[in-house]
Chains A and B, each alone.
Chain A
Amino acid sequence: MDLLWFTIIWVIVSLLGEWGLHALEHLGLYYYTASAQAIAGEKAVAFILTVLVPVISFVIVLLVYNAIRFRSRSNKPILSRHQFRDNKLFIGSWVILSIALNILFFVHPSASAVEQMFNSEEARFNRNDLVVNVTARQWEWIFSYPQYGIQYAQDTNGNSTLYLPVNRNVRFVLRSYDPYHTYAPYIGVIHDFWVPAFGLKQDIIPGETRYEYVHTNKITSYDVDPMVRVQCAEVCGPGHPYMEAPVHVVSQTDFAKWIQVQKKLQQS
């Protein structure tokens, strides 16, 4: 009887959980996404949680069911009438299922998504990428566009700003050093290049050059959602919280216009 009741409750709670998760998925598990990579990550979260909802419900329902159903009404120790130390079916299925689930997650989404990520970083797929050189210094992001001869992309107030065309592969070339104090080898610290809406981040290590590839997939900007910003995610000193810059993903024509404006700014 206990087994039956437990199973019924478990199934109901699992279904409710799946329904709740589904509703959350519609709202957006990552809240706001603006790149193919972010969507891949969001899908991975959704897949893992969809599979795990019955597992989570199993443990929680069992904890609560046990606590209520098998509680003792006396506060004196009374031996339980059911004493057993083994149940081969329960243990066996627990062990096999937990191994199976883990192998499943390793194959998908871990390995499969990582393979996609590897592919997106293959040089042969990235011949026409927009290259953005990102320099992290304490405490500023500097964006330059070598293909367009732009050294320091800035808005009208002279603050760093990042413009990207929509539906393009972008290759960020990440370096951490201070271009204004290149004689000081101790000045570089670890930063982390993160655009929350792009769904991935990459540490920037002094003395190394790293790459991050993003495929933009919608026109948006910091003004549409504040997750469309560059934010340093690795502590880099007191200025760390202020090390951010707005991002604008714009249409191809707007991007070309912006390039022209930047070129003029460079000359002035």
Chain B
Amino acid sequence: MSSHVTDLGSSQLAEHRRRMLPPLVRGLLWAAIGFLVFNTLVSQILDRQPFDPFITRPSVAIGWAAALIGWLLGVGGWEVIVRPYFGYPVEWDVPNDWRRYFMFSTDHKVVGLQYIFSTAGSFFVAGFAAMLMRLELMHAKLWVFSNPGSYLATVGIHGTVMMFSVGTVALVGGFGNYFIPMMIGANSSAFPRLSGLSQWLLPAGVATVVLSPLLGLWDTGWRGYAPLSGQDPSGIVFYYLGVFALTTSSLMVSINLTATILFKRAPGLTWNRLPMYAWGILAVSLLNIIWLPEIQMTFVLALLNNIVPFPLFAEVGTPLTYMEAFWLFGHPEVYIIVVPAFALWQEIIPVMGQKTLFARQWGVLGLVFVMLFSGLVWAHHMFTNMRNSEMLPFSFFTEMISIPTGFAYLVVLGTLWRAKLRLTAPTLLVLMSMFNFLIGGITGVLLADPVVNLQTHDTFFVIAHFHYTIIGAMIFTWLAVAYYWMPRLSGRMYNEKLAILGAIWVFVGFNGAFGQMFFLGLRGMNRWAAAYPVYLQSMNFSVSMFAFLLGLGFLFNLLHIAWMWNRGKPAKKNPWGAQTLEWQTEAQPGEKNFHPLPRVETGFYDYAADGPSRKDE
């Protein structure tokens, strides 16, 4: 298929040699051409349907794939990947200015920043959807949306974008791509071209999901649940396609970062000295490599189920199969989101406390065992539809996974004890993040209990629980590292007072909104409901108020970071006094990290005054 698209491209090639369109424009153009050609081919020639519609579900799916390939080639895949593959020299000049962020790049720092920007953008798009939902729920009857279906489509977009383009990506594709090669003393990631390509799947996937309701309101939530999806209008096709692009992006990132950590470590960087964040990214990447292909195959089945169509998940098929396959991925996904956050707590606290990391080996064990256990707990999402005999093992492992999770707390609390802790915004956000995850974890123990689960499942109790783990832990940590690494990323310092105000602001908004949701769920509020019994209205109103406060809080932090990125006071090299390697270089995008490569002699977390790392200072 791709060769057809490239043939198309080649007719423009002679021109492009002399004067190339901006890569984004060319990508859009090639995408449009790819879509038109393949959509027409399928709907008019290969698979004509009664009344001869120009766009059919099969044609739009094939057309979308062609458009995606056109887009990837247009932004630079053609020059960087396809032509070199046939033996031509790479002719791809990345200008040394803002334009490099809008084209294919193989520099891991550029790719990291591209991911950071696109995840932040996705976060605010999906966050806006959440604000619309909370606006609707201020009132017991429909008043913002014209029908419950458009509310459900909004829920679906919010969940899908948050999960697959923020939660899974921000700390891995974003900060991981930027910092992991630096932290392990490498000059590039292992597969820079793969990494450059993966970033461009993200905007394509987000656009596909966000624009999907134009083709019909799909109402399954972020899970694309069959058999309900089988009844949905064509918007659901774009859900499956968009998520396919987003998960492929994460899969590529994970393959790249795994190989980077395995093979590109600086001389002397043994496994015993590997930074905690690298351990976290390694664990999460292995999770991605195991589970993303599984969910992608599930989504391909569901897509075929819709466009062929098949009755795979209808009552004449097996409705539970989709659910099982979805949660088989769905629970590891939660740890995919939160494991990098655990690792980052253990990265930031020793620096801010200027104290040796406590019980490091237990921290590593924790990350690795969370990764291993996470594949054994998934069916606790299905206590309401499984045989009784199947509940207990999943209940057991779900409770047990709290043990390795607790090791992250063990390490951080031990490190904090008698530290010289600077209460900066990153510190505060890590502590808040730990508080939030504690609440998420405790309610997780309740949910792991089958009898309790049968009451709280599919209520706002569950919504509150997983927002505590995802926003509460991962998003708060994301903010923490944004402040922590801002001097490294931009060379400028944020305003401490404003940042602390921002941290407290989101903390109050978050706990006000989601803390109440636990009680709302116990009081009888079910999920996916745009309208609900009137007795729940006053509590919902109050949740909405805090939710708006939270939304404004995130906006405040964003504006603060964006402003200080350009106008902040110039920062010193290594302002926090960290020992990890990313602070030992001042390389900016477009520059080499290290020359020569560093030789690592000790671990990075020893702060003893006479410790080995101090001797050469």
Interface residues of A, Cβ cutoff 8 Å to B: 2, 29-31, 37-38, 40-41, 44-45, 48-49, 52, 56, 59-60, 62-63, 66-67, 70-72, 74-87, 90-91, 94-95, 98-99, 102, 105-106, 109-111, 113-114, 117-118, 121, 176-177, 185-190, 192, 194, 196-197, 199-203, 205-208, 210, 226-227, 229, 231-242, 244
A156 to B402, CA, bound (A): 52
With both beta carbons as reference points, the residue of chain A lying nearest to B536 in the complex is identified as A226
Within 8 A of A (CB), among B131-156: 147-149, 152
- Report whether A186 and B314 are in contact in the complex, using a CB–CB cutoff of 8 Å: yes
- Report whether A241 and B434 are in contact in the complex, using a CB–CB cutoff of 8 Å: no
CB distance from B604 to the nearest CB of A (A): 13
Binds A, one of B18-26, B225-233, B553-561, B588-596: B225-233
Q: Which residues of B contact A82 (CB under 8 A)?
A: 355, 417-419
With both beta carbons as reference points, the residue of chain A lying nearest to B614 in the complex is identified as A79
Q: Which residues of A contact B149 (CB under 8 A)?
A: 237-238
- Report whether B452 and A240 are in contact in the complex, using a CB–CB cutoff of 8 Å: no
Q: Beyond A72-B420, A102-B400, A111-B392, is A192–B315 a contact (Cβ under 8 Å)?
A: no
Q: Which residues of B contact A241 (CB under 8 A)?
A: 148, 526, 528-532
Q: Which residues of A contact B511 (CB under 8 A)?
A: none
- Report whether A190 and B227 are in contact in the complex, using a CB–CB cutoff of 8 Å: yes
A110 to B447, CA, bound (A): 10
Q: Beyond A66-B419, A118-B388, is A83–B446 a contact (Cβ under 8 Å)?
A: no
Within 8 A of A (CB), among B374-407: 382, 384-385, 388, 391-392, 395-396, 399-400, 402-403, 406
- The answer, among A87, A91, A113, A177, for a CB contact under 8 Å with B451, is A113
With both beta carbons as reference points, the residue of chain A lying nearest to B575 in the complex is identified as A77
- Report whether A59 and B413 are in contact in the complex, using a CB–CB cutoff of 8 Å: yes
CB distance from B423 to the nearest CB of A (A): 5
Q: Is B53 an interface residue (CB 8 A)?
A: no
Q: Which residues of B contact A189 (CB under 8 A)?
A: 227-228, 231
- Report whether B316 and A44 are in contact in the complex, using a CB–CB cutoff of 8 Å: no
- Report whether B359 and A205 are in contact in the complex, using a CB–CB cutoff of 8 Å: no
- Report whether A77 and B523 are in contact in the complex, using a CB–CB cutoff of 8 Å: no
A227 to B531, CA, bound (A): 15
A99 to B391, CA, bound (A): 20
- The answer, among A38, A186, A236, for a CB contact under 8 Å with B230, is A186
Q: Which residues of A contact B359 (CB under 8 A)?
A: 85-87, 91
Q: Is B611 an interface residue (CB 8 A)?
A: yes
Q: Which residues of A contact B527 (CB under 8 A)?
A: 233, 235
Known: A77-B354, A82-B417, A203-B385. 18 other contacts (CB 8 A): A48-B445, A62-B416, A66-B421, A67-B421, A70-B416, A76-B577, A77-B422, A80-B355, A83-B356, A84-B356, A106-B396, A109-B451, A110-B451, A190-B227, A205-B385, A207-B318, A235-B220, A240-B152
Interface residues of B, Cβ cutoff 8 Å to A: 147-149, 152, 217, 219-221, 225, 227-228, 230-231, 311, 314-316, 318-320, 323, 351, 353-360, 362, 382, 384-385, 388, 391-392, 395-396, 399-400, 402-403, 406, 409-410, 413-414, 416-424, 427-428, 431, 434-435, 438, 442, 445-446, 448-452, 454-455, 457-459, 496, 522-524, 526-533, 535, 576-577, 606-609, 611
- Report whether A117 and B423 are in contact in the complex, using a CB–CB cutoff of 8 Å: no
CB distance from A134 to the nearest CB of B (A): 14
A81 to B609, CA, bound (A): 8
Q: Which residues of A contact B421 (CB under 8 A)?
A: 66-67, 70-72
A146 to B403, CA, bound (A): 49
With both beta carbons as reference points, the residue of chain A lying nearest to B223 in the complex is identified as A235
With both beta carbons as reference points, the residue of chain B lying nearest to A121 in the complex is identified as B388
- Report whether B438 and A60 are in contact in the complex, using a CB–CB cutoff of 8 Å: yes
A95 to B403, CA, bound (A): 8
A66 to B606, CA, bound (A): 20
- Report whether A79 and B315 are in contact in the complex, using a CB–CB cutoff of 8 Å: no
Q: Beyond A94-B410, A186-B231, A207-B315, is A226–B533 a contact (Cβ under 8 Å)?
A: yes
Q: Which residues of B contact A70 (CB under 8 A)?
A: 353, 416-421
Q: Which residues of B contact A238 (CB under 8 A)?
A: 147-149, 152, 217, 219
With both beta carbons as reference points, the residue of chain B lying nearest to A105 in the complex is identified as B399
A262 to B269, CA, bound (A): 79
With both beta carbons as reference points, the residue of chain B lying nearest to A43 in the complex is identified as B451
Interface residue SS majority, chain A: mixed
CB distance from B90 to the nearest CB of A (A): 43
Q: Which residues of A contact B400 (CB under 8 A)?
A: 102
Most buried by A among B323, B528, B535: B528
CB distance from A47 to the nearest CB of B (A): 9
- Report whether B354 and A240 are in contact in the complex, using a CB–CB cutoff of 8 Å: no
Q: Beyond A48-B449, A78-B354, A186-B311, is A41–B454 a contact (Cβ under 8 Å)?
A: yes
A49 to B447, CA, bound (A): 12
What are the 10 tightest A-B residue pairs by CB atom distance, in nearest-first order? Answer: A77-B577, A206-B315, A207-B315, A203-B385, A241-B529, A196-B524, A66-B416, A235-B528, A238-B149, A82-B418
Q: Which residues of A contact B221 (CB under 8 A)?
A: 235
Q: Beyond A63-B431, A102-B400, A118-B388, is A233–B522 a contact (Cβ under 8 Å)?
A: no
Q: Beyond A45-B452, A188-B314, A226-B533, is A71–B435 a contact (Cβ under 8 Å)?
A: no
A231 to B152, CA, bound (A): 17
Most buried by A among B351, B360, B391, B606: B391
A225 to B418, CA, bound (A): 52
A188 to B230, CA, bound (A): 10
A67 to B577, CA, bound (A): 19
- Report whether B395 and A106 are in contact in the complex, using a CB–CB cutoff of 8 Å: yes
- Report whether A38 and B608 are in contact in the complex, using a CB–CB cutoff of 8 Å: no
Most buried by A among B357, B400, B450, B454: B454
A41 to B457, CA, bound (A): 13
Q: Beyond A91-B410, A205-B385, is A56–B438 a contact (Cβ under 8 Å)?
A: yes
Q: Beyond A72-B420, A110-B448, is A85–B402 a contact (Cβ under 8 Å)?
A: no
Q: Which residues of A contact B459 (CB under 8 A)?
A: 233
A205 to B317, CA, bound (A): 11
- Report whether A237 and B231 are in contact in the complex, using a CB–CB cutoff of 8 Å: yes
Q: Which residues of A contact B427 (CB under 8 A)?
A: 67
CB distance from A190 to the nearest CB of B (A): 6
A99 to B315, CA, bound (A): 42
With both beta carbons as reference points, the residue of chain B lying nearest to A118 in the complex is identified as B388
Q: Beyond A186-B227, A206-B315, is A78–B457 a contact (Cβ under 8 Å)?
A: no
- Report whether B434 and A63 are in contact in the complex, using a CB–CB cutoff of 8 Å: yes
A80 to B358, CA, bound (A): 13
- Report whether B445 and A79 are in contact in the complex, using a CB–CB cutoff of 8 Å: no
- Report whether A102 and B457 are in contact in the complex, using a CB–CB cutoff of 8 Å: no
- The answer, among B148, B225, B524, for a CB contact under 8 Å with A31, is B524
- Report whether A80 and B354 are in contact in the complex, using a CB–CB cutoff of 8 Å: yes
Most buried by A among B391, B399, B438, B609: B399
A146 to B158, CA, bound (A): 44
Q: Which residues of A contact B225 (CB under 8 A)?
A: 190, 235
A40 to B454, CA, bound (A): 11
A246 to B353, CA, bound (A): 58
With both beta carbons as reference points, the residue of chain B lying nearest to A66 in the complex is identified as B416
- Report whether A72 and B385 are in contact in the complex, using a CB–CB cutoff of 8 Å: no
A177 to B409, CA, bound (A): 48
Please, could you name 25 A-B residue pairs with CB atoms under 8 Å apart, sorted by A?
A30-B522, A48-B452, A59-B438, A67-B423, A72-B423, A75-B496, A80-B353, A83-B356, A84-B358, A85-B606, A95-B362, A110-B449, A114-B388, A186-B311, A187-B231, A199-B455, A200-B451, A201-B454, A206-B315, A208-B319, A233-B457, A235-B528, A238-B219, A240-B148, A241-B528
A63 to B353, CA, bound (A): 13
- Report whether A75 and B424 are in contact in the complex, using a CB–CB cutoff of 8 Å: yes
- Report whether A102 and B528 are in contact in the complex, using a CB–CB cutoff of 8 Å: no
- Report whether B535 and A226 are in contact in the complex, using a CB–CB cutoff of 8 Å: yes
Most buried by B among A48, A59, A118: A59
